[in-house]
Amino acid sequence: MADPVMRFEGVSKRFGGIQALSRLSFDILPGEILGIIGPNGAGKSVMINVASGLYEADEGRVIQHRRDITKLGTHQRGRAGIARTFQNIRLFRRMTVLENVLVADKRHICHPFGSLLSFGRRGAEVAAALAELDHMRLADKADQLAGTLPYGDARRLEIARALAGNPSVLFLDEPAAGMNERETEDLLADIRACRGRVEAIVVVEHDMALLRVLSDRLVAMNYGQLIAEGAPAAVLANPEVVRAYLGTPDA
């Protein structure tokens, strides 16, 4: 079996009196779309925050390609190819759509002062950014301020921005929140289209139907713990998972 792209190993995280994550362990495999499902408060967003370095794990390890990255800080995780979106969409609102994508360029991010000399590559970079925007059907709004975008466009821009950094893993935090059926369909297609571009995609959601059709594998969480892992159908039929969502497994 191939090396996991990322691995959570016994990760625990506590906030005051609340155990947000409890010895959470799972793998993210190459080429897959991994769904993470759980009711509100299950710890899904905390997990993304630990993965992307916003929170430091109290216990356990986070591993990327066999490398222990537990101690790496936020910006180092970003440079290591861990990209994420946010539940409440955090764009650079006063920058244009084009600039939001351009700023993701890792070459410049890693050498901000070297970027001062990059005049020659400018045309090519803008063209590449426009191509990226085109995939998300945003190219015609490139010069618009990101803060003026409608909801669906804003979500797609956040994903485009994350992809523009050529990440290895892309974490999507409740990307379908607030979307109607039509928009959700489009979103699923957009996510599937990303498959070849990154090593793995992790989609966190509490919408079971969505993850059933989208994910290759599913991880179910509750109260900060992993309660089931495997093929979507099997996980969603798992009595403990059902209980977490509905209370009891009977009619």
Partner 1 sequence: MIQDHIMFTGINILLAWSVYVILLSGSVSFANGAFMAIGGYASGVVTTKFGLPLFVGIPIAALGTAAFGMIIGLPALRTRGIYLILVTTGIAFCVKNAIESIPYVGGVRGMRGLVGAEPWHVWVLVAIVGLLLWLLSRTPLQRILDATREDELVARAMGINTVYVKVIAFGSGAALAAIAGGLYAHYMYVINPEHFGILVSVFVVLYVILGGTNNMWGAPLGATVMTLVPESIRGLHEWRPIVFGVVIIVLLLVRPEGLLPFRAPSARVRDARDG
Partner 2 sequence: MLAEQILNGLVLGSMYALIALGYTLVFGVLDKLNFAHGDIFMFGGFVAVTVLALGAPLWAGALAAVVVCGVLGLVVELVSFRKFRSHDAQITAALSSLACSIILIDATQKIWGTEPVGLTLATAIRTASVTVAGLRIAYVNIGILALTLVLMILLYLLITRTRMGRNIRAVADSAVAAELLGINVTRVTQQTFFVASGLAGLAGVMLATRTGFVTTELGLTFGIKALAVMAIGGMGDLRGAVVGGLLAGLVEALATQFGLGKFGDMAVWLLMIAVLLVRPAGLFGGVRKETRA
Selected range binding partner 1 among 2-10, 38-46, 85-93, 217-225, rule: CB under 8 A: 85-93
Selected range binding partner 1 among 39-47, 87-95, 190-198, 224-232, rule: CB under 8 A: 87-95
Strands 200-205 and 33-37: parallel
List the one residue from 12, 23, 54, 229 that touches partner 1 (CB under 8 A): 54
- Of the pair 112, 123, the CB lying nearest partner 2 is at 112
Please give the Cα distance from 201 to 181 (Å, whole number).
22
Selected range binding partner 1 among 96-104, 148-156, 173-181, 218-226, rule: CB under 8 A: 96-104
| Contacts of partner 1 in 104-143 (CB under 8 A) | 104-106, 108-110, 112-113, 115-116, 118-127, 130, 142-143
Please give the Cα distance from 166 to 163 (Å, whole number).
5
| Residue 142 binding result from partner 1, partner 2, none, given CB thresholds of 5 to 8 Å by partner type | partner 1
Q: Is 99 in the site for partner 1 (CB under 8 A)?
A: yes
State the nearest-atom distance from the C-beta of 120 to partner 1, in Å: 7
Asked if residue 21 lies in contact with residue 223, where contact means CB atoms within 8 angstroms, the answer is no
Paired residues of 217 in beta bridges = 34
- Of the pair 120, 247, the CB lying nearest partner 1 is at 120
What are the distances in angstroms from CA 36 to CA 42, 127, 232, 244? 10, 35, 10, 14
State the nearest-atom distance from the C-beta of 54 to partner 2, in Å: 5
**Residues of the shown chain interacting with partner 2 in the complex, contacts defined by CB under 8 A:** 15, 49, 53-56, 73-74
Q: What is the contact surface with partner 1 in residues (CB under 8 A)?
A: 52-54, 73-79, 83-84, 86, 90, 92-96, 98-99, 102-106, 108-110, 112-113, 115-116, 118-127, 130, 142-143, 161, 165
